Structure 1
Amino acid sequence: MLNILYLVHDLCDPAVRRRVTMLRAGGASVTLAGFRRTETVPDFDGLSPIDLGPTSDRAFAQRLAAIARAALSLGAKLATIEKPDIIIGRNLEMLALANRAKALFGGSAPVVYECLDIHRLLLSDGAVGRAMRGAERLFGRETALLLTSSPAFVRDYFEAYGQIRAPAVLLQNKILDLSGKPPGQAKLPRPPTANEPWKIGWFGALRCRKSLELLAAFTRQMQGRFEVVLRGRPAHVEFEDFDGFVRAEPYLSFHGAYRNPDELAAIYGEVHFSWAIDFFEEGLNSSWLLPNRLYEGCRFGAVPIAMKGTETARFLADRHIGLLLSEASVDNLVALVGGIDTDGYIVRRRKITVQDLGTWICDAADCRALVERLGRLAGIARQDVPLEVAA
């Protein structure tokens, strides 16, 4: 059995839980260690993570200090665990600790760099950006494999900036489905009657103030013909007053967090469109990523709305699905969706529902393929299991 040490920046990140589940479902033994942004260490279905201490969102200096302390104490923290076959560092700070862990265990375990977002500081032209890119190149010199979620990250950052020379494997942010059951057709929302609104769902990590303001202005102009349903985890530090803003808008409503993947069918079954736009790091990470909500919404028949010129738009255009916004303005959004009727909506939805469900879902076979690919780095896995490689 492949023994993996997984070092993460935030034990509370839902995506961490999903990756741990994938690795274990693929047949690996996982030791999880990381920082936390809550008072207590979360439980992972019987797996007790090694606590590296608390950190805070956007507190860059505090996180650097926490990494330095963790590097000094890492030997003691990991003293009782079995020597890993593979070490995965999720995000740049954990890549640094992965190299430290490799040295502690004798230097033979390959290091894998998992990078699913490119932080804006890494793209700065100033001294801080140059220093961080230099640190990434330094820590990544002996990286054996890069795991990332969008081909644009490889093409427009890692290759364009000359950051990581290791082979890249594409692990898209698909829905993890380990039920073992043949995936059935989702229950689709019915189009509204004459007196009902069209509904746009914006679900997941809510961090984009520009999107919130655009959707609010759009729904007001449409005078109730459209409503926006928000669910997930708002990044309150990015908004002056998220809760107050939403309460003051007549056609916006926030319904809190949801269980993923348990409640996805229910929440997407209530909306007609999925907001797949993020201006949080406009022109940079937001233009390159392929977000969770893209796969979630399409799996359950919600027509995605994306911004032209982004990787999400390219993904949709390649499959001739979705709606693409040419400019982030109320007028353009009205022109794009304001005149939609039932027949037009059903045609667009049908183009999504006829896609192969493997486009949206990751299953047990995908988990096994991932673990086999990692195992090949350690020389203890079969050679015949394919895994999608980023071009």
Structure 2
Amino acid sequence: MLQVLYLVHDLSDPAVRRRVVMLQAGGAVVTLAGFRRSSEAVTEVAGVAPIDLGKTSDGRFAQRLAAVAQAALTLRTALSNVARPDVIIGRNLEMLALANRARTVFSGRVPASDRGELKGGADDVPIIYECLDVHRLLLRQDLAGKAIRSAERALGRHAALLITSSPAFVRQYFEPFGQMGMPVELVENKVLELGPDKVGKIEPAPIPAAGEPWKIGWFGALRCRRSLELLSEFSRRMEGRVEVILRGRPAYTEFEDFDGFVAAEPFMQFQGPYRNPEDLPRIYGDVHFSWAIDFFEEGQNSSWLLPNRLYEGCRYHCVPIAMQGTETAHFLKALDIGFSLTRPDAGELVALFDQLDAERYEGARAKVAARDRSVWVCNEDDCRALVGRLRALVPTRQGADARVAA
């Protein structure tokens, strides 16, 4: 079986768990190591006991750099009981740095899988760079931005593959900035569904009866202050005809007082974190629309990404709301589904809902429901295809060649 060392920036991130499960379902054995943003230690991720490299803080770039430097010094000890993997995945730039260090650490160790001796040295262990966000620091045109891009190019010299979740990251950043020359594997943020009839019958929210509100769900990583303010103004102007439900993990560093702000809103509720994918049918079954807009890094990362909530909401037949000019809006336009705003304006949202009735909504939801399940869902075949793509990067070993020749 393919042996994968997966280095991650946040062991407590639900998306990390989903990727580990995906690799396992594809036939890989995963060793997990990384930092955590949570105060409590992470003792288990999808059945894997992770190697904890320490705590880092969201939004504190200098602190994270110091933590990475410290981890690089102690990585040999941290990985002392780990046999050399077949591939190493670094999830984002700081972990790409540690992936290069891990490659050196495993120099001379026996391969984890019994396939004889490597033709080359231990440097033949492939590195995969997983980049699911392009941080704003990478896009700066000053000396700091140029230095970070130069570091990324240097660290990426040994990378055999780039995994990313949106074609716009390649089109808008990696290609024009000349950052990476390796092949690209697009792995979208689809809903992971393993096993037959995992979901069962989808039960979308019923059309509101007279006097009941439409409901918009904003779920996942809640980091966009502008979205919060826009939805606040909009819901107040609708005077109870629309409610906004928030769920997930707020990035408290991006808000002055997230909990206090939401508590003061008459038509907005924060209902806490949820389990992915276990809770998805229930939480999306409570809302009519999914908020697929993010102004966190407007014109850059937020305009290029295809977020988890896009796939999750559409999987459960919620109608997505996007912003024109973004990759999400282009994606929805190609599928002829959802609504896209021309500008981030509460008045435009009011106009959209003033024109909304049961018939128009049913038509919009039917279009979403009619799209093939594979657009939104990652299954066992997709997992095996990903692991197969990684396996193809593993250098041929002399022992295996000799057995085949015999």
TM-score normalised to structure 2 length: 0.92
State the partner residue of 2:103.
102
Identity, in percent, stands at 61
CA distance in 2 between counterparts of 1:121 and 1:364 reads 36
| One-letter amino acid of the structure 2 residue matched with residue 93 of structure 1 | E
- The answer for the alignment partner of 1:332 in structure 2 is 348
Where in structure 2 are the equivalents of 1:255-334 lying within 5 Å?
255-334=271-350
Tell me the equivalent position of 1:251. 267
AA aligned to 2:65 is L
**How large is the RMSD of aligned CA atoms in angstroms?**
1.3
Name the structure 2 match of 1:10: 10
Query: Is the Cα–Cα contact under 8 Å of residues 7 and 88 in structure 1 kept in the other structure?
Result: yes
After superposition, the C-alpha distances for 1:135-190 in whole angstroms (9 at most, x for unaligned) are 10110112100000000001100001110111101000001111333764411111
Contact 1:12 1:42 survives alignment (8 Å): no
The one of 180, 189, 199 equivalent to 1:173 is 189
**Alpha-carbon distance in structure 1 between the residues aligned to 2:73 and 2:172:** 35
Distance 2:396 2:14 in 1: 29
Partner in structure 2 of residue 123 of structure 1: 139
Give the 5 Å matches for 1:169-208. Answer: 169-181=185-197, 184-208=200-224
- Partner-residue secondary structure (3-state), 1:377: coil
Task: Give, as a single letter, the amino acid of the residue that structure 2 aligns with 1:138.
Answer: A
Q: Is 1:351 paired with 2:352?
A: no
Q: Specify the structure having the higher radius of gyration (Cα).
A: 2
Matched with 1:360 is 376
Q: Residue by residue, what CA displacement relative to the aligned partner does 1:31-58 show, whole Å, maximum 9, x if unpaired?
A: 1110112231231243111111111111
Query: Do the aligned residues in 2 keep the contact of 1:183 with 1:357 (CA within 8 Å)?
Result: no
Q: Return the alpha-carbon distance in structure 1 between the equivalents of residues 263 and 31 of structure 2.
A: 43
Match of 1:164 among 180, 198, 202: 180
Query: Quick one: distance in 1 between partners of 2:9 and 2:165?
Result: 17
CA distance in 1, matches of 2:280, 2:295: 24
Closer, same or farther in 2 for the Cα pair 1:336/1:380, shift >3 Å? Answer: farther
Query: Which amino acid in 2 is paired with 1:121?
Result: L
Please name the residue that 2:41 is paired with.
Answer: 40
Contact 2:280 2:312 (C-alpha < 8 Å) held by counterparts: yes
Matched pairs, number = 381
Aligned to 1:385: none
Structure 1 outlier segments of 4+, above 3 Å:
182-185
In 1, the alpha carbon distance for the partners of 2:394 and 2:144 equals: 35
In 2, are the aligned partners of 1:180 and 1:364 still within 8 Å (CA)?
Answer: no
**CA offset at residue 298 of structure 1?**
0.3
3-state secondary structure, aligned to 2:124: coil
Provide Cα deviations, 1:293-320, integer angstroms capped at 9, x if missing partner. Answer: 0000001111000000000000000000
Contact 2:21/2:46, CA 8 A, preserved across alignment: no
Distance in 1 between the 2:376 and 2:263 partners?
Answer: 33
Is residue 357 of structure 2 the alignment partner of residue 341 of structure 1?
A: yes
1:67 matches 2:83: no
Q: CA deviation at 1:338?
A: 2.8
Q: CA deviation at 1:243?
A: 1.1
Q: Give the C-alpha shift of residue 255 in structure 1.
A: 0.7
User: Which amino acid letter does the alignment assign opposite residue 222 of structure 1?
Assistant: M
Structure 1 segments unaligned to the other structure (5+ residues)? 382-391
TM-superposed deviation, 1:134: 0.7
The TM-score normalised by the length of structure 1 is: 0.95
Specify every segment of 5 or more residues in structure 2 that has no aligned partner in the other structure, as ranges: 107-121, 398-406
- Structure 2 CA distance, aligned partners of 1:233 and 1:156? 28
| 1:107 aligned counterpart, secondary structure | helix
The equivalent residue for 2:241 is 225
Partner of residue 386, structure 1: none
